[in-house]
Each structure stands twice: as structure tokens, then as C-alpha cells.
A and B are shown apart, each in its own frame.
Chain A
Amino acid sequence: MCGPPKQRDQHCAERDLICRPNLPLGSSVLSPGSVFKAPVGWSLGLPGYSQALLEIGTIIRSLGCCPSEGELHDLIAEVEEEEPTGYIRFEKFLPVMTEVLLERRYRPIPEDTLLRAFEVLDPSKRGFLTKEELIKYMTEEGEPFSQEEMEEMLSAAIDPESNSIHYKDYIAMMVVDDS
């Protein structure tokens, strides 16, 4: 199988990340030799060039990993400069991220786990959560949502007539869109 010339391979390797963004959750092996195009945010990547147009958290998550906020902070601490500049250098990020992906760390939540989580918050098994309940849990428990995140989630999740979230339907809808 002929591939691109060697020079380009090198250029690719510097610029690209190892990822398989379109693999279904929980599927097959990543081979270390494979090289894929990086998500947007790394333009004209050459070593020594640092850029983080998309936030690191967004990039990591868009690669199919699901770290918690706490885990994300730890990860960022690993790749940050000694004196944090607010920017991450690509050549520092690449090996760390590669390992994360090869180890299959921070695997995403399976659909049924997600459903059970909602059911825990709905002990009387009504099949829905009210808007107030969801807001309370999301903004007061766990790793709380910011106001923007809360509004964003509500805009898609809420059924305007009943002002409630029918979580089974919501999950089904989101999973389709995400795949």
C-alpha cells in the first residue's frame, strides 16, 4: 500500500493525534503507527508551536474520552508548562494524550449506566425529573454545572409543556445525535 512521501509523514506526525473519533464506543484496537488528522485548533502545527484555540477539555472530550472535571485538571497539570501560561504546547500534549488513548482511560459512560443514574434521582419512578429537580442536582451535587452548561442542557432536554425532563426519551435522542 503506497502512502504519502516520508516528508509528509513527518509533518503529519507532528501535527496529528492518534485517535479514532468515529469508532463506536468500546471498540477495537489503536495501533501506535497509525496517524490521523488532529481536530481543528491545531493549524500549521510544527514543533515548538503552541496553540489552544479550542479549550483542552473540549479537545480531549471530542476525542472520545470522558474524564471528570477533577481528572481533567490532573491531566492538564501533567501537560502544562512549569509556569502556566494558559497555553498548552502540542509536543507536550501528544505523548500524554497518546497514552491516555492507548490505555483506554476515561472511557465514556454506557447508555444503561446513564439511565440508571437518572433513575437514582427519580426514586418514585415517575419516568421524569422536574426542571427544578434537575437544576438542583446538576448545580448542587457532584461537579456542579455552570449556569451556561445548565441552560444548554435544559434547552434540549426539557419538554416545555410539562416543564419536565423525560429522561428515557432524552437519552435515546442524545445517543443518536452523538453517534
Chain B
Amino acid sequence: MGCGTSCSTKDRKSEKVFISHGSAALKAALIIQNWYRGYSARLKARQRYALTIFQSIEYADEQGQLQLSKFFSFMLENYTHIHEKDPELVARLFGSTLQDCKDRQEYVSCIDVPDSYNGPRLQFPLTFTDIDILLEAFKQQQILHAHYVLEVLFETKKVLKQMPNFTHVKTSPSKEITICGDLHGKLDDLFLIFYKNGLPSGSNSYIFNGDFVDRGKHSMEILMILFVSFLVYPNDLHLNRGNHEDFMMNLRYGFTKEILHKYKMHGKKILQILEDVYTWLPIGTIIDNEILIIHGGISESTDLNLLHRIERNKMKSVLMPPIPLDEDHDTDLKTKVGATIIPREVKTNGSLSEQLTKHEWEQVINILWSDPRGKRGCYPNKSRGGGCYFGPDITSKVLNKYQLKMLIRSHECKPEGYEICHGGKVVTVFSASNYYEEGSNRGAYIKLCCDMTPRFFQYQVTRTTCSRPLYQRVNAIESSAIRILKERMISRKTALIRAFQLQDHSKSGKLSMAQWAFSMENILGLDLPWRSLSSHLVTTDKNGNINYMSSFQDIHIQKPVKEAQSTLIETLYRYRSDLQIIFNVIDTDHSGLISMEEFRAMWKLFSSHYSIPIDDFQVDELAERMDLNKDGSIDFNEFLKAFYVVHKLDKLSKSDSNLP
């Protein structure tokens, strides 16, 4: 190991003596290094577990979203009696909201910008000055007036309409192109990218690969910056549609709420136009006829020629699949629900020409929702519930078919902001750092040029100037992940307990690790390393057996009303996101209130479709109690807020994150 000599050197500056004892110091250093590397590795593993938790739950939620689409279809078929009483409701759910769309002039000109407004003012036609104005204003937390928002949206739609489904781009030695992935409303990340990489311009091209909105708090600001930049440099700033550029996704994942909150008066108008603008976003970009850039991925049946041809604006939402076109069904619908029934985008004369075919629709879904995996072949994407998993053989097959060399996509959060797979043929780029939680992941962007290898740039937004030590960051992410996992457990408490008790023949309250892990995975439907996580979720006895009821001791759902039964509470808590969407859709005037009748009708349909074994009268009773002022309407935001989860050890766990 070391040489036997020893020597000493004097460091004059500090007057300390560094004594090298040869092998003793060497051994000591080795011990410390060895120990530290082990510790550091375990920290990283914990960080990974936490990210897996976040990701699994996120995808499970997306699955819930798609289940909701089936519910809407179900409602369409069973909705007769409700329609009779409330035709507007049906129109809102299933009809084209643009039937009464006014002329742009009417929309925009009837909204005045008052003199007292001191937010950013845009001048049409837009120039690069307007980009600067917007950036400066947003840095100071200003909000762009609805008048300008609408103008930008109308202009953007006009320009997008002229673009083909795939934008074809050429690079040259002097002109690199930068590709960014999901931003999800994280404005700081966009600022950071522009700071590091420069603003978009004629000599600085960008591609933004979808998912600009939802989840983050500044989706509107990001959208405005991107659209304005696009209008100023339509040939140098390219936008691809992501799965969140979808008005139905926005209902669940926060953008709709953001708009209605920031634009109390004109939010509804903005939402209407936005729905339409989304559908005109291009499906993808192709660079130098070699590199395909799309948001999600591909499937084995991906047909780029077909995708070039389809009328992409007919793809309204992932939650609105095309209705089957046979004539009998058509007549049935008419007789059931009257002449004005409008499955999405159908004209009143009954023609269904405004939809994509099922095949075309599936092609687009695959582009927006699929994920690459190491396993060969093409499989339905179980965790998200839409699109598929595609293997390296599929990638090769499809890329070869169209003489392409590489696929760049986004859609999945990666710890390093990017990931290369399928032998270098598939690259994921994700640009929202700290996506799940502060410190959860880096963001990245790619710079491409001609035949040169792509260059990757990483970054991470931090709120503080000096970052916390690694163990604190990991503790914070870990406790946040465990929290949401526990909330998931509590929302399925009854089913979990039943599964545990089925295996606990001796009624001892204990199970083996294997039994516990098996039930957890089965009931929660999450593919997680349960054994490694068990120490955070349950207590074990000295034989290593799990006390399965211990998970539920420090957490419960606060009951809004004492008398309500726990299974009802649990169910309402579990489905609260879905219910929120449905309520938002029913609430046509966005007042936050729905009538008791609407609530009852909705609940009946919902519970029968989702097979929820709860007496209707229990729900009725609950709703009545929630109608606090007895005027026959429920403030559903209050109703849903009432179901919040109480973590008994909350105070403790908050300060825990600062403990080493």
C-alpha cells in the first residue's frame, strides 16, 4: 500500500504541520473514503426510491384520467333524463363550445385595457421588443392583461393553422438548434434556459417539445412567452404538442385553475380559445430529415405518412375518443337524447365528419403518450393508461422505415434531466428541474448541429444561493414522497386491511414481509420497492414480521361531518380529483356552485360506473349537510377541500427534514 518513508512539510501560511506517516495516514484516508462512499451511495439510493414513488403515483393518476374518459363516454350513453332538464349541460360536456364563438374582433375589442393597468403592453405586429417586455414583466410577477392574452391566442392560432403537422427544419454549421423538453409551468427554468442559452432569435433556434403547462404555477406566463416568441420568429421557434396541451388534462392538472384564478372576468373566454389553439399545435418536428422530435414516443404501427396527412385539429382531447360511426348508433343517440345531442364536434345535422377515425386518433395518442422501455416489443402503457411501451426493436424498425437516425422525446422526468437509451437512438430531454420536489431532479436541454453529436446542458433551479447539503435535500424529498404514498394508502385503507386480514389466518395483526409487500403492490397498483420502503411505512417486530395496522395509526382523513361513514369518506377522498373535474365541467358559469340535483345525478352515474358500493342516500345526506346555507346549491370546492388528510406527526416530520 504505502511506502515506508515519512516526511513532514511545513506550510508557512497556516503554520500547521502536515505529517505524512506513510502507511498510517494512507490507511486512515482509505477508511474515511470507503465509509463516505458507502454513505453517499445509500443517500443516492434513497433519492431514487423517492423519485420512483413520485413517478409511480403520477402515472397512476394519469391512468385515473383516462378512466374518466370512459366515464364520459358512459355518461353520453346514459344521460337521457338529465339532458331533458339541462340541455346546456350536455352541450358543455359533449358539444362544440365554439358553436357560439364570436368573431375575434368582438372578443378582443370588447375587452378594454384600462389606463390604470401597469402590466406589460404588447404592440401588434409583435417584435422582439415585446419578448423583452414580457420577460421583464413576468420577472416582476406581473400578469398580462386578458386583452393581450386573447390577441396573442388568436394570432397564434392563425399562424399555426398554416403550418403542417410536422415542421421540417434544417441546421447548418453556423446555426445550431436547441431542444427543450417539458416545462410544466416552471417559469424559473425557462428564465434559466434563456439566460444560459440566449433568447430565441433568427440565429438562435429553439424547439419546445410539449407540456408547457400544468402543475407549475406559471403555465400562462410560459405559454405567453412561447407564443409571443413564436409569433416574432415563426421559422425559428418551433412548438410541438404534448399530452398536457389538452383542455381535459388542464382541468385536472392545474392550468384551468390557474387561468380562472388569474383572469376572473375573462378566464372562460381564454379557456375556450385555448382549447382550439392546442389542436393546431404541430405534432412534431423533423430535423435534417434525420431526427424526429415528438413529445411521447412511437408504437410499432406508427405511420408517419398518415400522421403527416391527418387533420390534426380534430384531435380535441385524449379524453374524447371518436364515437363509433355506425348508423344505428347514430339514430339511437338521436332518439335517446333529442336532436341537439352533440358528441364532440358533431354538427347539428348529425354528420360525424368532424372527428378523426379511431385509427388516426390512436396514432396521435401513441405519439403523445408512449414511453420507451428496455424490453423488446410494443405493449400497452399500463401505468399511464394511454399510449404504449416501445422497445429498442420497435425504435429500430420505425426509424429505419423512414430513414431516420434518432428520436428525441420528452414526457418522462429524469433525474439528470436527460437520458439516452435504445443504443443511442432514443433521447429523453426534460426541462423542468425540481419537478416533483425541490432537489428531485435536474433539467436539461440539447444543442444539435448538422452531423455533430448532440451536446447536453444541465441545470437546476435553487431558491437559495447556497444549496443545502445532500443529506438534507434527500431527507426532504424522501419525506415528501413518503407522505404522498401514505395518503395513497389511506385512500384505500379498507381494501388494504381486507387484503391483509385475508392472509392473517391467526388474526395476530402480523404478516411476513413477503405477504405485506404482495398486498401492498396488488391493492395500490404501484410498482415500488416495498421491502426497502417498509421501514418508513410500518413497524416490524423483532422477528422481522410486519405489524400491518401500524401504517394507519398516525394518519387519518379529517371528516367534514361527524356522522359520515369512513368508507364514504375514503371513497370521496380517493376520487376527489375526478369529482373535481366533473364538477368543473358541470359548472358552466364557473361560479363554483352546482345544484343539489346536478350533484345527485352526477354521483349516481359516477358511482354506478366506478362500481362504488355506497348507498346513494348516504351521499345525499352528506351533500345536504354541505349545503350550508340551504339554498339548494353546493360550493363544491369547499366540499372537496373538506376531505383533507391529517398527518398526526406533521409537526415532527416538518422539522425532521432539517435533522441530519
Contact = CB atoms under 8 A, between A and B. Distances in A.
B628 interface: no
Contact of B19 (A50, A57, A123, A173): A123
A178 B35 CA distance: 11
Contacts of A145: 33, 36
Contact of A120 (B25, B41, B52, B518): B25
B660 interface: yes
B575 interface: no
A120 B27 CA distance: 9
A46 B470 CA distance: 33
B49 A142 contact: no
Contact of B374 (A49, A123, A141): A49
B29 A130 contact: no
B33 A120 contact: no
A117 B27 contact: yes
Interface in A92-134: 108-109, 113-114, 116-118, 120-121, 123, 130, 132-133
Contacts of A7: none
Given A46-B375, A58-B44, A120 B28 contact: yes
Nearest to A172: B660
Contact of A61 (B14, B37, B475, B659): B37
Given A37-B531, A44-B373, A149-B36, A137 B518 contact: no
Interface in B435-494: 467-471, 475
A159 B38 CA distance: 22
A4 interface: yes
Given A37-B531, A173-B660, A156 B471 contact: yes
A177 B657 CA distance: 11
A123 B44 CA distance: 33
A68 B469 CA distance: 24
A147 B469 CA distance: 15
Interface stretch (B170-178, B248-256, B509-517, B547-555): B509-517
B515 A40 contact: no
Interface in A8-48: 8, 21-22, 35-41, 43-44, 46
A117 B39 contact: no
A107 to B, nearest CB: 10
B24 interface: yes
Contacts of A35: 514
Contact of B512 (A1, A39, A43, A51): A1
B532 interface: yes
A102 B467 CA distance: 40
* Most chain A beta-carbon contacts within 10 A, residue among B20, B470, B514: B514
A76 interface: no
A66 to B, nearest CB: 4
Interface residues of B, number: 58
A152 interface: yes
Given A109-B35, A177-B660, A39 B48 contact: yes
Given A59-B45, A141-B29, A156-B471, A37 B36 contact: no
B529 interface: yes
Contacts of A149: 36-37, 40
A176 B660 contact: yes
A108 B52 CA distance: 27
A170 B36 CA distance: 12
Contact of A3 (B16, B36, B518, B529): B518
Contacts of B513: 36
B39 to A, nearest CB: 6
Contact of B515 (A3, A51, A66): A3
A143 interface: yes
Contact of B33 (A57, A59, A113, A142): A142
Contacts of A137: 25, 28-29, 32
A138 B45 contact: no
A155 interface: yes
B21 interface: yes
Given A40-B529, A43-B527, A138-B33, A22 B535 contact: yes
A54 interface: yes
A117 to B, nearest CB: 4
B469 A155 contact: yes
B643 interface: no
B34 A109 contact: yes
B38 A130 contact: no
Contacts of A144: 33
B75 to A, nearest CB: 35
Nearest to B533: A37
Nearest first, the 8 closest Cβ-Cβ pairs linking A and B are A61-B41, A62-B45, A142-B29, A141-B29, A156-B469, A120-B28, A117-B31, A142-B30
Given A58-B44, A66-B34, 20 more contacts: A1-B515, A8-B518, A37-B517, A44-B373, A49-B374, A59-B41, A59-B45, A62-B42, A68-B30, A109-B35, A113-B31, A114-B35, A117-B27, A117-B31, A118-B32, A121-B29, A132-B14, A141-B26, A142-B27, A143-B30
25 contacts: A3-B518, A4-B518, A21-B531, A22-B532, A36-B513, A37-B517, A37-B531, A46-B375, A49-B375, A58-B44, A58-B45, A61-B42, A62-B42, A114-B32, A117-B32, A118-B32, A121-B25, A123-B19, A130-B16, A133-B18, A137-B25, A142-B33, A152-B40, A155-B469, A174-B471
Interface of A: 1-4, 8, 21-22, 35-41, 43-44, 46, 49-51, 54, 57-62, 65-69, 108-109, 113-114, 116-118, 120-121, 123, 130, 132-133, 136-138, 141-145, 149, 152-153, 155-156, 173-174, 176-178
